[in-house]
Amino acid sequence: MAKRERVVRMSVEQPLWRALTAYRILTMLYAVLLAVFGRDRYDRPWVAVAFLVVMSAWTLATLPKVAGAVACTKRFLGADLTIALVGILLTPLADFEAQQIDGPTLPSIWTAGSVLAFAIKGGWRWAAFASTFVAVANIIERGEPSRDTFHNVLLVWVASIAIGYVVEVARASERTLARALEIEAATRERERLARDIHDSVLQVLAMVQRRGTALGGEAAELGRMAGEQEVALRTLVSSGLVPTTRVSEDAAEGAVVRSVEVDDEEDGSSGPAGCDLRSLLAPHAGSRISFAEPGAPVLLAPAAAKELAAAVGAALDNVRVHAGENAQAWILVEDWPDEVIVTVRDDGPGIAEGRLAQAEGEGRMGVALSIRGRLRDLGGTAELISVPGQGTEVELKVPKVA
């Protein structure tokens, strides 16, 4: 068994949370030192002391809360912002002159830590919400705010929104990188399977085909069947439709360690579940049937994919019955934004004009029921184009939202 590679990657947000933790501690110390060196200016020093004790105790007790997005809950953010706002509004009570000279508030720049927590947790919208409350509290605290007050308020508001936006961009980049790593892991596994199959099953089938053709008789028929299975298996391998459990395991446990705190609506994986039509049509490929499909999954609702595949099977049955043993057929799958188109074409003798209507009159309803009926139930259409001597083409269209 090939050795599995593990790529362990830290969440892009984690350094931001660590920086926020350090910022809260340093700004707490800064606010305390401001109060100590400016203690002579306080009219009611006990108000400043009481608030700074509460703020310091809260900061140290809640350090685990700013260790990551999971621990940083909405309840904590609300309480943290409330303490910052209370400190701003208590400033005139403790230091009346702070209003007159644009002096620092009791929490000082510690308040920005609360806004930054909102920004890292919820992006720029949460940052705008928190910084708006801080701006209002600062304007109320100043009474008659000066130009410097408005300047500082605007600076905090813009900076917090910018940081929130950067966090959202980083999250999007992280999701893109995670998806790229998963695809890379799946591609490596598919290439390994293709090598294993080529070295074993495909070589055996090729040998059976050669030996059967050389021996002739019944062995020649077995060789022909082995050749058809070889072509079908090569198609499955090249299109990446060979199922494997290990690909999912590698992508889940080894390709990337994703941040568990990303909300469901943010992780980009909440799209509608669907069935890959390619996996239902690929088994038809063989020595006389060519299959061409997009490189990406063609997703339809499971019921719609099954009915469309059945209609394609009915069209191929008609090719085998009416076009002759040596007829070649082609299946083309087209994935458009609003519909899926599957075209089945053959190089047989074609259908004479009026033959379909005659067949329906005789009770042979293969095209009418097996093909057109299925497509009609899906809200789609089936169009048959045939020119005598130039083969037949059946175009099946199914809307993605039926």
What digits encode the pLDDT tens for the residues 90-126?
888 887 665 555 678 889 889 989 999 999 998 889 9
Q: How far apart are CA 375 and CA 297, in angstroms?
A: 21
Q: How far apart are CA 394 and CA 397, in angstroms?
A: 10
DSSP symbol at 271: S
Which residue positions in the chain have pLDDT lower than 70? 1-12, 96-102, 145-146, 148-149, 190-200, 202-203, 234-273, 352-370, 402
Q: What end-to-end distance do the CA atoms of the chain give, in Å?
A: 44
Q: How far apart are CA 224 and CA 277, in angstroms?
A: 27
Q: Would you say 340 and 334 are in contact if contact means Cβ atoms under 8 Å apart?
A: yes
In this prediction, residue 2 carries a pLDDT of 39
| Diameter over CA atoms, the chain | 112
3-state secondary structure of 202: helix
Q: How far apart are CA 92 and CA 140, in angstroms?
A: 10
In this prediction, residue 281 carries a pLDDT of 92
How many CB atoms within 10 Å of residue 260?
Answer: 9
Dihedral of alpha carbons 193, 199, 204, 207, sign: positive
In this prediction, residue 142 carries a pLDDT of 77
Q: How far is CA 136 from the centre of its chain?
A: 39
Beta-carbon contacts of 372 under 8 Å, excluding residues fewer than 6 positions away, are 382
Q: How far apart are CA 27 and CA 108, in angstroms?
A: 8
In this prediction, residue 81 carries a pLDDT of 93
In this prediction, residue 59 carries a pLDDT of 94
In this prediction, residue 93 carries a pLDDT of 85
In this prediction, residue 265 carries a pLDDT of 37
- CA angle (339, 341, 343) in 5-degree steps: 175
Classify residue 51 as exposed, middle or buried by CB count within 10 Å of its CB (0-12, 13-18, 19+): buried
Q: How far apart are CA 185 and CA 246, in angstroms?
A: 10
Q: Of 62, 66, 74, which Cα lies nearest the Cα of 16? A: 66
Q: Would you say 275 and 300 are in contact if contact means Cβ atoms under 8 Å apart?
A: yes
- CA angle (193, 196, 200) in 5-degree steps: 140
